[in-house]
Amino acid sequence: MRHVFLFLVTLSALASAACETKHAERCKLDCQARGLCTERGGKCVATDEGDCGRSHACEEHGRCKLVGDDCRATNDSCRTFAGCEKAGACGEHGGECAPTTNAHCAATEGCRSDGLCTAQGGLCVALHDDCRNADVCKRFGRCTSDEGHCGTFGPTDCLASEMCTKQGFCTFVKDHCDLTSPADCEKTDGCRDHGSCTFVADTGKSSAGRTAGCVIGSDADCRRSTACKEHQACRKGTAKIGYPATCTR
């Protein structure tokens, strides 16, 4: 009886093998997309790690290893995945390479530039103080996290930005920083160093519409500047076509 049982098991295994077709035509699309190149029992499955490695899922999501009858990512394989360095996709999440620790996100350009420094749900997102340390805060005043991204949500965000100190975009208006008044110009490095302290509603530099700006409006602007104190450039000079006025001796 035992011999009969073993014979039936062997026969069943052979039958299963006979029903398996590698690189079956009906699996062509699944093969290219996910490495599922073998037809078995009416389904397309993975049986060769080389097939996994040639698939789009490997290139795009790190699903390069044969695990059972599927192509999946592993923690080991994700460490060498191209998306590890670029997007922090250095760990396995749901069978794909993804950020699974904050350390994965911290090493990325997205963290440095956009505050996407916290791993959550297989993504790098901005939470808590992530935005405060990012270039997007320093440059554009997007210093507060909201729904995983950095945005501008108040006057404090604007005042922390280079757009305020360099261009006068210091006033919070709805969801962004804007240049709206002489007080904005007076906060700029240009006012302190070169006397560009007068607000104008239109600099005339854009043909697309009115563009506010900070200019040297008077001798008084020059007298308050570092240029006057250190180089005796205390008078407003004459503007030339295409060039703004400067402070002169």
Question: Mean pLDDT, the chain, as a whole number?
Answer: 91
Mean pLDDT, range 54-64, rounded to an integer = 97
Predicted pLDDT of residue 5: 41
- For 71-85, the pLDDT digits (tens) are 999 999 999 999 999
Per-residue H/E/C for 44-104: EECCCHHHHHCCHHHHHHCCCEEECCEEECCHHHHCCCHHHHHHCCCEEECCEEECCCHHH
Domain ranges (residues) in the chain: 43-98, 99-178, 180-248
pLDDT at 102: 97
Give the model's pLDDT for residue 84: 95
Confidence at residue 205, expressed as pLDDT on a 0 to 100 scale: 73
Kindly state the DSSP code that residue 25 receives in the 8-state scheme.
G
Q: Which residues pair with 125 in a beta bridge?
A: 118
Position 19 scores a pLDDT of 81
Report the phi/psi class of residue 73: left, alpha or beta, with left for phi > 0 and alpha for psi in -120 to 50. beta
Judged by average pLDDT, the poorest of 143-157, 160-174, 234-248 is 234-248
For the cut 50, the answer to whether the pLDDT of residue 236 exceeds it is: yes
- Structure-model confidence comparison of residues 147 and 203, the more confident one: 147
Most confident of 17-31, 74-88, 198-212, 228-242: 74-88
How far apart CA 149 and CA 140 sit, in angstroms, is: 14
39 has which bridge partners? Answer: 21, 44
Spatial distance between the Cα atoms of 160 and 149, rounded to a whole number of angstroms:
18
The whole-number average pLDDT for the span 191-210 is: 86
Write down the pTM of the prediction.
0.76
pLDDT score recorded for residue 13: 45
What is the band of 204 on the pLDDT scale with cuts at 50, 70, 90?
confident
pLDDT digits 0-9 by tens, 2-58: 454 444 444 444 444 458 899 999 999 999 999 999 999 999 999 999 999 999 999
**pLDDT computed for residue 206 by the predictor:** 65
pLDDT at position 178, please? 96
pLDDT band of 128, cuts 50, 70, 90: very high
pLDDT exceeds 90 at position 210: no
Whether pLDDT at 220 is above 50: yes
